[in-house]
Structure 1
Amino acid sequence: MKMSIQYRHSGKRRFAARAATAVLAACVAMVAGLGGALAAQDYDRLSEQTRDYVAVRGPIVALERVRVIDGTGGPVLEDQTVLLRDGRIAAVGPAATVAVPEGAERHDLSGHTVIPGMVGMHDHLFYTSVGGRRVQLGYSAPRLYLGSGVTTIRTTGSFTPFADVHLKDAIDRGDSPGPRIHITAPYITGSTGSVHQARMTSPEQARRFVEYWAEEGATWLKAYTSIGSAELGAAIEAAHRLGLRVTGHLCSVSFQEAVALGIDNLEHGMLTASDFVPEKEPDRCPGNIMQRAGGSDPTGPIAQETIAAMVEAGVGLTATLAVYEAFFPDRDVVDERTLELMAPDLREAYLDERGRIQEMGPDPENFRNEMRFEKAFVDAGGLLAAGVDPTGNGGALPGFGNQRNFELLLEAGLSPVQAVQVVSANGAKILGVDDELGTVEVGKLADLIVLNGDPGSDPSAIRAVRWVFKDGVGYDSRELIQATRGLVGVR
C-alpha cells in the first residue's frame, strides 16, 4: 500500500506532522469548547439535485397528532405536536397545548410515529458481497442511509478514505443528499493486514499515521484484527492527544486488553472478542474466532468480566446484528425490497449463497448468543449503539440494515423505547454530539424520522418511513430509496 510506504519513509511529512501537533490540539480544544457547533443546513443552501428529494421545506413545520418515542428512554408520548423552526426543534408537547404559528406548514399525522434520526455507528460508504465484490457506494449509500432514516453516520473504516472525505464535503455543501458523516481513517492493523489497510509495525509508525489523518480531517480511527498492543496503545495515546477517538474490530488484542489501553469504543460484540478463547497468546489472533467466541456462554464469568471492564471504563459497544444475521440459516434475510435494489448479477449470487447457508442446518446458537451478550451489556449499564456494517455476503444494505438492527434488538429482549435509544441517542453520545442530536427535544437539530405506524406494537413499522428530516428539511424516503434501484453493488 503506497500510504504505508509514505508514512515509513517521508521525513518531511513526519516533521511537519509533529510541528503541527500543538496547533492541532489547540484547534480541537477550541472546537470542542464551542458546544452546539453543528449548524443547520436550510433548504436554500441545497442544490437542485438535492432539492429533488425534498418533500417538506419549512422553515416552520408542525407535525401534528403524532406518537413520539423521543430517544431519551422516557415513555412513549401519544397525540403530540412536534414543531420545527429554522432547522431545530422548537416545541414538543400535547397537540392540544402546542401553539402553531400562523404560516407554519401543518401536517396532520395521526397514526404516525416520530423518532430521532438514527445514528449509524458502523456505516461504511463501501459495500462488499459474495464472490469478493467490493465497490464504493458514493451514489447509492448516502441516499439509502438518509432514505432509511439514518441522519448521521460514522464510516468506521475505509478503503478509499478520500472518496469519503469528498462525499462528506459535498453533503455538507448541500450538493448531494445524505447523512452527516464522521470520518474514520483507513484501517490500522498488524503485519498481516490486507493491501487496503495500513500495517502498523511500530508505535512510532502508529503515531505518524494518527498525526497525518488528524490533518486530513478524520475524527476517528479503527483498529483491526491483527494489530499489536504496543501499536494500538500508541495510536490511542496520539489520537487522544489530538482530540480523536479510537474504536476497534479486534482479535489479536482482547476487549479487556483494549479497555486497559484506553480505547473508546468496540465493535461487533462477543463474536470478535478473543477474551472468550482461554489459550489466546499475546498479540495473536486465535483462529476461527467467530465460531469459538460465539459458542461460549454469553452471560458466564468471562462475559461478565468483559462487560464489567467496559462499563467501568465507559467504553461503548457497537451492535452490528444485521450483517451477522445473513451468515446464519433460518433467518429472515431475503426480502423483496432488498433484492430489487441489488444489481441483477449480485442478486443472483446472493440468493445462491443464501441457498448454501440454508443447507448448513440449524443455527448452532452463535447468533442468539451474540444477542444475549448485547442484552447483558445493556442490563449492566453499558452504552450500546448500532450500525449496519454493509459488508459480509451483501445481505445487509446501507440503511436497511440499520432498520433491521432495531428489529433484532427487540428480538434480543430490549423494549421499543430502549431500541430507539440504541439506534439514535447512544450513538450520538459516543460521537460526542448528543448535545445537538439523537433525541426529540426542544433546541436540538431537527433530525427526525416520521414512520407510518407504531414500531412499539409492530417492529416492521421501522421500515415504513414516510419522511426523514435533517436540519428541519423533510426528505421523501421513497424517492431516495428508489433512486438506487438496481444500483447497489454498482455505484
Structure 2
Amino acid sequence: MKKVIKVIVAGMALVSGVSFSAQYGIIHAGKLMAVPGEKVTSKQSIVILDNKILDVRPGYIEKDALNISQGDTVEVIDLKNKYVLPGLIDGHVHITDQLDSKNKLRRVEYSDPDTALFGAYNAKILLDAGFTTVRDLGGRGGDAVFALRDAINKGFVEGPRIFAAGFVISPTGGHGQRIGYRDAVFKVVNHSGVCDGVDDCRRVVREQVRRTADQIKFVATGGVLSEVAAGTGQQFFNDEIQAIVDTAHSLGRKVTAHAHNADGINAALRAGVDSIEHGTFADEESLALFEKTGAYLIPTLLAGATVSEIATSKQSFFAPSVNEKALKVGPKLIETLRIAHDRGIKIAFGTDSYVSKHGINAREFQLLVEAGLTPVEAIKTATVYGADNLGKSDELGTIESGKFADIIALNRDPSKDISALKEVDFVMKEGRVFKQ
C-alpha cells in the first residue's frame, strides 16, 4: 500500500509540475580547520545541502555558483572573521543529572518526566557551548535519557545528538548503584542495570539493548562518588566482564568500562573493551594492553579536578569515604594521561559532565594541554578521535563532504590559545543554526 501511495504522489508531482525544494547553505569561513590535525585554510566556502556537507570550496562563493532548482532556498552565513571547526564531541556525560549538595535528595524528589526536562535544560547549555554530540554514560529516571535523545532527534527539543548507554551495569553493591539510602528509598532510586554472575550479566546487557541503548557501559572497578568504603579496585569478576563485553559486541554495541585501579582496567582490556573511562591507576600492563588492543582512554580530567576542588573546600558535601578517594584520584588522572600520551595511546575527549557543571566542558581542553597534549591534539580528541570512539567517523568529527553539518565558530585561534574553545560564538548542528 505504501509503495502505491508513493507512486501516486510521484505521478501527481510530474503532472502538476510540483517539485520538492532543497535547502542550501553557504558558510564563508575566514579560517577553516576542516580536519583537525591537517592544514588550516583561509577564505573557504562550506556548501551545505539540507543537513549534510555537500562540498568545501576555496574562496567565497555566492548563490549563483550553485546549480539549484526553482524553489530551492540558499542561506549565506558570514563567518569571515571567525575560526571555523567541526562541532565538538564529549564522549562522557550524564545529561540528566548534576552533582551538588542537593543531588541525593533530587533523586528521590524528581519523577521521570522531571528528570527528562532537567536533561533538556542541560542539553541546551551543552549545545550552546559547542558540543553538538555527546555520549551519555548512565541516565537517571528510567527511560528519561532515551526520551530526551529521541525528542532532540525529532526536533522537539534543542540539544546535542545523544548516544545513550541507558543504565550503568553494576554488580550488587557496586559503583553503579546508588548507596546511602534506606532500603525502602533505595528501591525507588535504584534501577535495573544490576547483575551478578555470567548469565545475569548477559541478560542485563541484552535488556539495555532492548531499551534502545546505543552503547554499553559497566563498572569494572569502584568509583570516587560511591558512598561506601569499597575503594576503587575491581568489582566484577573476570568472567562477568567477559560476558558483558562479548554480549555487547554480539549485539552490535560498543562497550566502555568505568575503571580506576589497574586490576579492573586490565581485566576490561583483556576482555576486549572498546574504551576505558578514567584509567586513573593504569600500570605498565595497562599501557601495553592499550597499545595491543587499540582501545581508547577517556581521561575525564575535569571530573578529577572538580572532585578535588570539592573535597578540599570548606563547603564539601562529600561523605568522608568520598573525600578520601577524591583526593587520591583527582591529581593522579593528569599524571596517568601524561604517560599514556607519551606512549601514543589513543585518547578521546570526555568530561564526566554532571560531576562538573554542564556547559563548562571546554575546560577539559585546558587540562589536556596541561597534561602534555598540543592544542591541536586536544581538539582532535573531541573531533576526529571523538567520532572514532563512537564508531561514527563516517558521519561526524570533520567538515567534509557527506558528513553532518555540525559546525562551530570562534573569535580566536584555538591552535594558539586553547581557551578560545570556552567562548563559542556560532553553533550549527545538521545544517540548522542554534547560536549566532
Q: What's the TM-score once normalised by structure 1's chain length?
A: 0.67
Picking from 394, 397, 401, the partner of 2:357 is 397
- Mapped to 2, the partners of 1:247 and 1:385 lie a distance apart of 12
Q: Is the 8 A contact 2:298 2:348 kept in 1?
A: yes
- 2:65 equivalent to 1:101: yes
Picking from 368, 385, 388, the partner of 2:351 is 388
Q: Is the 8 A contact 1:119 1:425 kept in 2?
A: no
Match in the other structure for 2:306: 326
Structure 1 residues 305 and 217: alpha-carbon distance in aligned structure 2, compared to 1, 3 A threshold: same
Picking from 287, 292, 295, the partner of 1:312 is 292
Q: Deviations over 1:71-121 (max 9, x none)?
A: 442122233322222221222243267987366322332331111111111
- Mapped to 2, the partners of 1:160 and 1:329 lie a distance apart of 28
- Mapped to 1, the partners of 2:60 and 2:96 lie a distance apart of 46
- Mapped to 1, the partners of 2:366 and 2:435 lie a distance apart of 22
Match in the other structure for 2:168: 187
Picking from 81, 84, 87, the partner of 1:117 is 87
Match in the other structure for 2:96: 126
Match in the other structure for 1:209: 204
Match in the other structure for 1:373: 336
Q: Please list every run of 5 or more consecutive structure 2 residues that lacks an aligned counterpart in the other structure.
A: 1-21, 67-72, 107-114, 179-189, 222-234, 318-322
Picking from 238, 247, 259, the partner of 1:250 is 259
Q: Deviations over 1:325-358 (max 9, x none)?
A: 123359xx9xxxxxxxxxxxxxxxx99449xxxx
Counterpart mapping for 1:472-491 below 5 A: 472-476=431-435
What count of residue pairs does the alignment treat as equivalent?
362
Cα distance, 1:381 vs. partner? 2.9
Cα distance, 1:216 vs. partner? 1.4
- 2:119 equivalent to 1:158: no
- Mapped to 2, the partners of 1:468 and 1:397 lie a distance apart of 20
Query: Match for 1:459: what amino acid?
Result: I
Cα distance, 1:249 vs. partner? 1.1
Task: Specify the SS of the correspondent of 2:354.
Answer: coil
Query: Match for 1:221: what amino acid?
Result: I
- Mapped to 2, the partners of 1:444 and 1:96 lie a distance apart of 21
Query: Match for 2:337: what amino acid?
Result: E
- 2:191 equivalent to 1:227: no
- Mapped to 2, the partners of 1:388 and 1:104 lie a distance apart of 37
Structure 1 residues 100 and 444: alpha-carbon distance in aligned structure 2, compared to 1, 3 A threshold: farther
Q: Is the 8 A contact 1:117 1:447 kept in 2?
A: yes
Q: Deviations over 1:466-489 (max 9, x none)?
A: 221111111116xxxxxxxxxxxx
Cα distance, 1:399 vs. partner? 3.1
Q: Is the 8 A contact 2:55 2:401 kept in 1?
A: yes
Counterpart mapping for 1:73-88 below 5 A: 73-88=37-52
Match in the other structure for 1:37: none
Cα distance, 1:243 vs. partner? 0.9
Task: Specify the SS of the correspondent of 1:82.
Answer: strand
- Mapped to 2, the partners of 1:391 and 1:352 lie a distance apart of 18
- Mapped to 1, the partners of 2:363 and 2:86 lie a distance apart of 16
- Mapped to 2, the partners of 1:63 and 1:476 lie a distance apart of 14
Q: Is the 8 A contact 1:184 1:221 kept in 2?
A: yes
Percent same amino acid at aligned positions?
Answer: 29
Picking from 159, 169, 175, the partner of 2:156 is 175
Two-structure CA RMSD over aligned residues (Å):
2.9
Cα distance, 1:260 vs. partner? 0.7
Q: Is the 8 A contact 1:426 1:438 kept in 2?
A: yes
Match in the other structure for 1:447: 406
- Mapped to 1, the partners of 2:44 and 2:337 lie a distance apart of 32
- Mapped to 1, the partners of 2:273 and 2:123 lie a distance apart of 28
Structure 1 residues 65 and 130: alpha-carbon distance in aligned structure 2, compared to 1, 3 A threshold: closer
Query: Match for 2:305: what amino acid?
Result: E
Query: Match for 1:77: what amino acid?
Result: T
Match in the other structure for 1:466: 425
Q: Is the 8 A contact 1:88 1:471 kept in 2?
A: yes
- Mapped to 1, the partners of 2:87 and 2:267 lie a distance apart of 33
Cα distance, 1:365 vs. partner? 9.6
Task: Specify the SS of the correspondent of 1:144.
Answer: helix
Structure 1 residues 467 and 251: alpha-carbon distance in aligned structure 2, compared to 1, 3 A threshold: closer
Cα distance, 1:308 vs. partner? 2.2
Picking from 143, 150, 155, the partner of 2:124 is 143
Q: Please list every run of 5 or more consecutive structure 1 residues that lacks an aligned counterpart in the other structure.
A: 1-57, 276-301, 334-349, 355-359, 478-491
Q: Is the 8 A contact 1:386 1:423 kept in 2?
A: yes
Cα distance, 1:452 vs. partner? 2.1
Cα distance, 1:409 vs. partner? 1.6
Q: Is the 8 A contact 1:200 1:227 kept in 2?
A: no
Q: Deviations over 1:357-408 (max 9, x none)?
A: xxx9xx999756522432432343322111221233xxx222322x111222
Pick which of 370-379 and 304-313 moved more.
370-379
Counterpart mapping for 1:243-282 below 5 A: 243-251=252-260, 253-270=263-280, 273=281, 275=282
Q: Deviations over 1:401-421 (max 9, x none)?
A: 2x1112222222222221111
- Mapped to 1, the partners of 2:204 and 2:24 lie a distance apart of 45
Structure 1 residues 251 and 407: alpha-carbon distance in aligned structure 2, compared to 1, 3 A threshold: closer
Query: Match for 2:38: what amino acid?
Result: G
Pick which of 304-313 and 433-442 moved more.
304-313
